[in-house]
Structure 1
Amino acid sequence: MRHSPSEAWDREYSKPDPLWKGPPQADVSVSQGARVLELGCGNGKAIAALAKNASEVVAVDISRVALRACGAAVPSKVSLARADVLHLPFADRSFGEVAAFHVLEHISQHDRPLAVEEVRRVLVPGGIVHVRAFSTRDMRCGKGEEIEPMTFMRGNGIPYHYFTADELRSLFNGFEEVEMREATSPKRFDGKDYLRAELVAKYRA
């Protein structure tokens, strides 16, 4: 039995040891004074880094449990809201920058362009979108049932898509590419070497 996206994420974040516990992300930066929208904020790993330079951060997630996991100690300039990235409850041209860290890979092939159009809609002209997404070289690529090309469903009911750089570029067609790189880090489990790989990109509307 497959769960709805919100149910699957609620179940995941309800676990005592969720997959996304991770350390806070420190290597993210937005422009000084920007009003920032973070999509899929999860348990708030990137909130503090985004808030460092931003004038305001609005962090959204589809999971109520994830939003509760952000805790009450978020900076005063940060507000939390439950929202679907395909139907953002914000006016056109509301934000100077958007952060989409490991969000697009959990959206279906059909819906990913719709999510990008929502990002375009809420950005001011010349606004920036920061993207992080799993690369096809990531050690987890191929794990689970392939439900779409390079998209795999694991036992937790959450789909994972793995991007090539060209595919990500195609998805953001019409944006100006400011940055595109693959960030990797070696991992070792049970005496074997693995690679964690993600694409880090920045586009201007």
Structure 2
Amino acid sequence: MTENTPHNALPAAAPDGHDYLPAAGRDSLLPFYDLLTRAVGMTKIYDTLVDSAQLRPGQRVLEIGCGTGNLIVRAKKSEPRLDAVGSDPDPLALARAERKARALTGIRFERGYAQRLPFSDGEFDRVLSSMMWHHLPADIKDAAAQEVRRVLRPGGTLYLVDVGGRVAADEGRNARRALHNPHLTGNLGNAIPDRFAAAGMECAEIATKRLRRIGRITFYRATRPS
């Protein structure tokens, strides 16, 4: 994006024609995406995020960057009386998510970008996000944080997990790689809490775990003030 591009505008299309990062990095790898997430240990991460969100009957829950629907489907199964929505810019990933959820009621998928969510103000009690945030450019993160605040009701809460928090070179190869990866460095330290605080939310780190082949990941809770 150029510095004259509005924050909520869509990024320019990449050489492959996409204006988003496909769920598996490229369309041809999408059939292997779920295998990869299981291989690196994401199943337990989804469970931890869903448990942290304390989902209750009747809540409206949105996942941004839902990919093939692993997290939002798990959230729906954990509390069947949710009104659950998954949003992602990748139509191929959404098609896979819809197939996973075809036996469930009260869940739907809509194409949308984190910086331009196709939902009304104050529509959701919870917003979830898993390992998506680091893919966004800095200016898109600013707009996405504002959008999360907008679609949450007053008192509503975001639960997010991604590479983030304190990462030191002496923690191993994955940590050193994170410190030199331009996508990840924008998440490190207090970057995530500071960004949501700038959007008018109260954000704090709530847990950390280590994920094989990825390293330290951090869970955050950000609340829109009542």
Q: Which moved more, 1:111-120 or 1:162-171?
A: 162-171
1:17: Cα distance to partner?
2.4
Pair 1:161–1:57, CA change in 2 (3 A) = farther
Instruction: Name the counterpart of 1:55.
Output: 82
Pair 1:69–1:143, CA change in 2 (3 A) = farther
1:112: Cα distance to partner?
0.5
Which has the larger share of helix? Answer: 2
Please give the alpha-carbon distance, in whole angstroms, between the structure 1 residues aligned to 2:24 and 2:203.
Answer: 34
1:178: Cα distance to partner?
5.4
The answer to whether structure 1 residue 184 and structure 2 residue 210 are counterparts is: yes
Instruction: Name the counterpart of 1:175.
Output: 201
Per-residue CA shift, 1:111-136, capped at 9, x if unaligned? 11110000000000000100111136
Q: Taking every aligned residue pair, what percent have the same amino acid on both sides?
A: 20
Please give the alpha-carbon distance, in whole angstroms, between the structure 1 residues aligned to 2:27 and 2:174.
Answer: 20
Q: Is the Cα–Cα contact under 8 Å of residues 175 and 215 in structure 2 kept in the other structure?
A: no
For structure 1, the 5+ residue unaligned runs are: 153-158, 188-193
Please give the alpha-carbon distance, in whole angstroms, between the structure 1 residues aligned to 2:87 and 2:116.
Answer: 12
How many equivalent pairs are there?
A: 188
The answer to whether structure 1 residue 120 and structure 2 residue 149 are counterparts is: yes
For structure 2, the 5+ residue unaligned runs are: 1-13
Per-residue CA shift, 1:77-120, capped at 9, x if unaligned? 21011111111111101111101212221110111111000000
Structural RMSD (CA): 2.9
* TM-score normalised over the length of structure 1: 0.77
Q: Is the Cα–Cα contact under 8 Å of residues 21 and 43 in structure 1 kept in the other structure?
A: no
Pair 1:172–1:150, CA change in 2 (3 A) = farther
Please give the alpha-carbon distance, in whole angstroms, between the structure 1 residues aligned to 2:23 and 2:93.
Answer: 8
Q: Give the alignment of 1:36-185 within 5 angstroms.
A: 36-51=61-76, 52-53=78-79, 55-74=82-101, 75-135=104-164, 137=167, 140=174, 151-152=181-182, 159-160=183-184, 163-173=187-197, 174-177=200-203, 179-185=205-211
